[in-house]
Structure 1
Amino acid sequence: MNYLYPLLLLLSISACTSHQESEEEELHGYFQGTFNSKEQSQQDSTYYDITINIVPIWEESEDYWVYAEQALSNSVENPYTQKIYRIDRDEEEGLIMESFEIDNPKEYHGGWKASEIFDSLSPEDLIPMPGCTIYFRKKDDKFLGETRGKECISLSTSSHYSTVQLIISEDKLISWGRGYNVEEQQVWGKLEEGYHLKKIP
């Protein structure tokens, strides 16, 4: 029996590790594809019809990386947001998504159609976004994520800091980004709820 207990403990640890890895894979699988808010914009004209294209990159890496490009649906060739994200698991915080910006982003316009363009880049070339890490927990069939605190400062916006909330499921992405000035006044982003984007088959 003394020999059996360590074996059972090892099997238990292995099962937990496998479960954690599958959550990373699952989130990575959900968080790729083409999403748009056409339906929401038709129901509420205060929301734009936007499209987000997300593709996996650096698939030979041990980490899970994606490139995301966001644009108005009638002008997808002119994205106004380009980010790279890494899905990882922090020993203390659990499932996380780290955010990065790209130097000279215009060189990578349309990268979702030809992800091999990122072969010339490496993670060391990216611009980290301190404070913009998104912390996730899984609830039923969804991943609920949000930034923490007031440290998320993007090079591409004029706000003092921003916050992001994400709900990611197999066929839908809800994204709510908001920016605040030094007086804690919201200067961009929707007031009541985020964008509801459906995955396009």
Structure 2
Amino acid sequence: MGAAPRFTVGLTGGIGSGKSTVADLFAARGVSVVDTDQIAHRLTAPGGAAMADIVAQFGPEYADAAGALDRARMRQLVFADAGAKARLEAILHPRIRAETEAATAAASGCYVMLAIPLLVESGTWRARVSRVLAVDCPETVQIARVMARNKLPEAQVRAIMAAQATRQARLDAADDVIVNDAGLAALTPQIDRLHQLYLTFSNGTATNGSQRL
């Protein structure tokens, strides 16, 4: 992160690509994983550091009975109103960056992986990580996974995907790509190979180069 000396990998991918699975597999190999989605959830939980500003900006109806962000209501708003999306990001993004930097500095793993779903969309994260790793799969696979996991209709899944960076934009931004369309048996050797590469980068014994696995 920034001027931090740690070797950091920015992990990204579209909804349903399997980012969490990939992150867990790297974590099992001794990598410190910092998940920006988890940070955002803490910030918007009851008593979370962002909730007072969110309520002040958007109104008390955007907090649920427990005092957490009403995600469904906010999702509807930001999908329909780009200005509201920008106001929400102005509240959340600086806090997410600060917590991510603190977690990176405190990490004890062999290197740090930052799970950043909107890495490409944010425009600023790319300069904050040493390398970008994209988890990729066909869009039909993404849709099927999200429909099964979240019980959402196909039209809603497609709308979420349309609001994210395109598959090609993520691939263009990536230094390394993991293809996640054939189960754990196909995923594991890709992760092992990249983990060894990242260890050499972390130790300062490798030169930069893209890996399309």
- What TM-score bracket applies, with the shorter chain setting the length? under 0.3
More strand by share: 1
More helix by share: 2
